[in-house]
Structure 1
Amino acid sequence: MIELDEKVINWDIDKLSEAIRSRNISPIEVTKKVLNRIHVVNAKLNAYITVLDEHALAAAKKAESEIMRGEIRGPLHGIPIGLKDFIFTKDIRTTMGSSIYKDFYPSYDASVVTRLHQAGAIMIGKLNTHEFAYGTTGDSSYFGPVRNPHNLAKITGGSSSGSGAAVASQLCYASLGTDTGGSIRIPSAFCGIVGMKPTYGRVSKWGGYPLCQSLDHIGPMTRTVKDNAIVLNAIAGYDAKDESSVNRKNESFTEAMNDGVKGTVIGIPTSFYFDDLQDGIREEIEKVIQLYKELGAEIRYINIEGMEDISQAFQTVLRSEAYATHKLHIKNHSHEWNGEVKSRLQQGESVKAHDYIQALEIKKQAILQFNQIFEEVDAIMTPVTSIYPTNLHEREIEVNGAKKHIFSILNRLTGPTNLTGLPSISVPFKASGGELPNGFQLIGKAFGESDLYRIAYAYEQEIGI
């Protein structure tokens, strides 16, 4: 096997996997390199809560032995991956970013963890998160805020804050996050990586700590589009333990990736998603639209009715179900909370039953409307957020001359797809002028992840990210 250099840290999964399968690179040496980097860099970022040195090295030794015997499990075999500390890992501390669970050791693995083990991936650590995943800034955890690798004074976005920062700063080759209102896509955009919220039911959420059962998703966060599809290949599939899991025939999300976008119809909403954008974001999205035109895609402007009502319905369901999840925690552990997180959760107590029922009816109508739209377009493109990363703990910001609370806007453009359950991928755009990262969002029809990967990959290949 060849001696490793520091460049291996920057390789994507696709390239590293080939080198490991060819026995040119040892997964043990790769794992040591990543662990060494974590111990140097994590003090600045605070991406990891728990680093699994012994566990990871033991798994790497096992992977190497299997590979040397020709027992190749797949493209994740021997690849170090991080897990949001919201996903249960047997006999490994899982904190939810909270003092309440600071010493909690689950007795079982989440289904996605089992699937990663079966794929031969190496669990290298548990990643920081906004407390109980109830926040889109990523700077309110019992274990301290996560810092953006591109500017340590800025937020990563949340709640999968550590997952975004770790992938962006080469502290793992991929991570898993959870997404209830944008918690994969927002930190992916703010950290300049790729994040997929799959279709509701595509990936089992069993063993992920619940926030809002009807909105929760688990998905991959990676440095490239192809890597993202590789990880989704490993974690997707039916799980009888998850009542929301959908039993579908397995498919390869990388199979059609090279098919290009010629003739693909991309819908651009004429309102809501493009309202009140911070300076620079609209211009970057226009560049993305122009590039897709040059690649042969058809751009079609579309009207999505009732988006304000859909957005409000999402917030109603979120507040109601989150409070139901944490009512007893608030009662029994009143003084062990971050004050802001606790206060926001308590807002759900005032949601009336008829408001919740009305929100569910709006959800049904929204799904019907989006299904009709996808009879005319292959994907919908929007910004991920309307702003760039803000300062840590900054809550009131100014957008186009108006002051707004950050929690009222960060998940405004991502939350509707949690309500409808449609797949949505965050893709970093190549920002100019040294700006902080951000990204665009591609929304697809139910179980249309392969199309989203194909469309995203065409952009990524063209700009060379």
Structure 2
Amino acid sequence: MSERRFINHPGAKEAPAVALEYRPEPDNNPRLRGLPLVAASYVVANLETAQKYIWSNAKFGQPRHAPGLNENINWRIQPNVIPVGEAEQVTLPLDSEDLITPAPATLPGRFNSVADYHALYKSGTATPLDVAKALLPLIQRGPNESKYAVAWTQSNAEEVLAAAQASTERWASGKPLGILDGVPFGVKDDTKVAGYVSTMGMKVDKKFPYFNTAETETVWPALKMIEAGAIMMGKMNQHEIGMDTTGCNPSTGTATNWFNPEYFPGGSSSGAGSALSAGIVPITIGTDSGGSMRIPPSFCGVYGLKPTFNRTMSMSSSVCSTGPMTSTVSDLIIAYRVMSQTNPSDEAQSLLAQSVPPSISASSTKYIGICKPWIDRSDPEVLKVFYSTVDYLTTTLGYTPIDISLPYLREGQLAHAAICLSEAAVDAQARHPSDWLALLNHSNRILVSGGSHTPAVDYLKYSQIRQVIMSHLAWLWEKYPGMLVLTPTTPMVGWPINPADHQYGVTDGNNSIKNMTYCWYANMAGCPAVTVPGGYVDAPKGGEHNGGRLSVGVMAMGEWGEEERLLGWAREIKKMVDEGTGREKGSEWVDVIGLVKNEH
């Protein structure tokens, strides 16, 4: 039995057998693109009956009839489980030898890391100012912008250069702030940074007051990165308001998946996935309501961590978390530890005890939970990578696989999708109350207007489903302490781009639901989850890019507060890739450090 203690724990209780029956079924959401999408958006935006049909057709009313729900199940509005610790909150080390030592130069598929930037500045070969000056032309939007700039939406060059100059002076005086001093990073456009308008991937129209109001404060995770000396290069592109999983954005441009540009980078943190896959920055900050910090890393061949609910900052959401995406696993560890420092002014976040690496003795059993009927709905190529990873974990690393069942895999996903769209509708109404759909593109006018019709009774039923899911997970962790629930990150081998999507966008609810098959569970339960590059497969499209390959991510979900266990697992999987075929990256990857060195 686990000895960990929690506040707001759901209680350990196995779900009833009827809730554990997996009942997958086809969806029949319309796929719309081009002029039919435009026409449909105007009809839906102006006709309430059409909005209600969208909600009903998506089967959002179905979860209220989920078998096993009754009046004895609590309504769990937020998954706000709080890990309780015994000791004073202290940031785990960032300068351990394994984190600050650059990877061997001969390592296949080697990405530049924080350790590489640190070594560069320490050697005096180049400065943070040199790096900033090299990066700005690659990321700034405008006439004659570089092909990498579409991953970004805004960059304040004066602020960037001033921060880089200050870092350069600290290095020159022998007083850098630490491992992150001078390291470039980016922040997703929906995340508040002082001086920037949080455009959220929307088309900027100055006639709306929203687009004329810059943020006055910087959110805690970004603030801690800046205080550590990292250089905030700018705001990053995204799927508009975070409401889909492709990253397709007809308003700001669709960020490129540099692993294979014939495929979407994933969403909603599309700019982050793109910039990381291109080597532009080693660290980004994103948000995740249903896989937005895990699907882009999976598609783009990098790393992402969705932390425990409220771990890095409290948010006005019951599903969303803010956290890091990075090029390497060591950078994921560094970024997470910096972003998750205790914020005394955040009453929710400050209560969570820091995550610490598990104490694993030689006799400890390391469990991986596998829900086979759920997993086996993945594409065959994904399954090949996934089960190869399972084989490595069991035969090489000594993990014990456990066949598990999980409740409400179908009903819970519908509930999660409805919650996301309901929250998006409330947020959209706050941005421009008089005409709240006016700021949105055609796809989101359809999706979000439908989400605005969720009845309170259904929302409470969704909350009961959340309670059952969380209680069952708690029961599993009581039975198998430290168990990691293992799945593919997404069941899909990429999402191919249709050229017609670029002008008006696309809405494809069936594929969106499929893409989130596994990611949503951690959002609904508030648990941490990490995605890692698990392997690579041949792609039907894009043979001229990277040999026509695509990245396949593998994901592990842990108990509340178990980020450090997940990060340790991610480091183990890295060995599998490194010792196997080697890590891969896109053919147009930018060696920023090499570029700066060559200029000297």
TM (normalized to structure 2)? 0.69
Structure 1 residue ranges without an equivalent (≥5): 1-5, 397-402
Q: How much has 1:242 moved relative to structure 2?
A: 4.4
Q: Which residue of 2 is the match for residue 96 of structure 1?
A: 200
Which of residues 110, 117, 120 is equivalent to 1:16?
Answer: 117
Residue aligned with 1:374, SS: helix
Q: Which amino acid aligns with 1:64?
A: T
Residue 200 in 1 paired to residue 317 in 2? no
Cα deviation, residue 160, structure 1: 0.3
Cα distance in 2 between the residues matched to 1:113 and 1:450: 20
Determine if contact 2:422/2:451 at 8 Å carries over to the other structure: yes
Aligned to 1:289: 390
Given the alignment of the two structures, is residue 114 of structure 1 paired with residue 114 of structure 2, yes or no? Answer: no
2: CA distance, partners of 1:35 / 1:259: 48
1:435 deviates by 3.0
Shift of the 71–259 alpha-carbon distance from structure 1 to 2, 3 Å rule, reads farther
Pick one of 431, 444, 457 that aligns with 2:536.
431
Match of 2:185 among 81, 87, 90: 81
Does residue 152 of the first structure (1) align with residue 254 of the second (2)?
Answer: no
1:449 counterpart (533, 545, 563):
563
Matched positions, count: 445
- The SS at the match of 2:368 is strand
Paired AA for residue 338 in structure 1: N
Q: Which fold has the larger relative contact order, with Cα–Cα distance below 8 Å and residues 6 or more apart in sequence?
A: 2
Residues 196-226 of structure 1: per-residue CA shift (max 9 Å, x gap): 00000111156xxx6xx11111110111111
SS in 2 for 1:431: strand
Q: Which residue does the alignment assign to 2:289? A: 180
Q: Does the CA-based 8 Å contact 1:258-1:454 persist in structure 2?
A: no
Partner Cα distance (1:330, 1:339) in 2: 18
Structure 1 stretch 143-152 or stretch 69-78: which is displaced more? 69-78
Give the 3 Å change call, closer, same or farther, for CA 447–18 of structure 1 in structure 2.
Answer: farther
Q: SS of the residue aligned with 2:413?
A: helix
Q: Which residue of 2 aligns with 1:400?
A: none
Deviations 1:112-145 (A, max 9, x none): 2211111111011211011111111110252121
Change beyond 3 A, Cα 1:44–1:74:
closer
Q: CA deviation at 1:259?
A: 9.8
Report the counterpart of residue 415 of structure 1 in structure 2: 520
Deviation string, structure 1 residues 320-372 (Cα, Å, up to 9, x no partner): 22222223537425443211111100111221111101111111121111112
- For the residues of structure 2 that align with 1:107 and 1:283, how far apart are their CA atoms? 48
- 1:337 aligned partner, one-letter code: L
Q: What is the identity, as a one-letter code, of the residue corresponding to 2:388?
A: K
Equivalent residue number for residue 53 of structure 1: 157
Could you report, residue by residue, the CA deviation over 1:65-113 in whole angstroms, capped at 9, with x for unpaired residues? Answer: 2233333322211100011111112123431111255554212222222
Query: Does the alignment pair 1:359 with 2:468?
Result: no
Larger Rg: 2
State percent identity of aligned pairs: 25
Tell me, yes or no, if the aligned pair for 1:21 and 1:72 is still in contact at 8 Å: no
Kindly report which structure 2 residues correspond to 1:287-366, keeping only aligned pairs within 5 A, or say none: 287-293=388-394, 294-328=396-430, 329=432, 331-366=434-469
Partners of 1:348 and 1:241 in 2: CA distance: 33
Please give the alpha-carbon distance, in whole angstroms, between the structure 2 residues aligned to 1:309 and 1:300.
24
| Cα deviation digits, residues 212-262 of structure 1 (max 9, x gap) | x1111111011111110100111113335545424234456xx67999998
SS at match of 1:199: coil
Matches within 5 A, 1:253-292: 263-272=365-374, 274-292=375-393
1:370 corresponds to which of 468, 473, 485: 473
How far 1:447 sits from its partner (Å)?
0.6
Distance 1:135 1:261 in 2: 44
User: 2:327: which partner in 1?
Assistant: 223
Residue pair 1:239, 1:245 contacting (<8 A) in 2 also: yes
Q: Which runs of 5+ in 2 are unaligned?
A: 1-104, 205-209, 502-507, 539-547, 584-600
Report the CA distance shift for 1:260/1:452 in structure 2 as closer, same or farther (over 3 A): farther
Structure 2 counterpart of 1:189:
298
Give the whole-Å Cα distance in 1 for the aligned partners of 2:277 and 2:362. Answer: 26
Q: Is the contact between residue 111 and residue 328 of structure 2 (CA under 8 Å) also seen in structure 1?
A: no
CA contact (8 A) 2:300 2:551 kept: yes
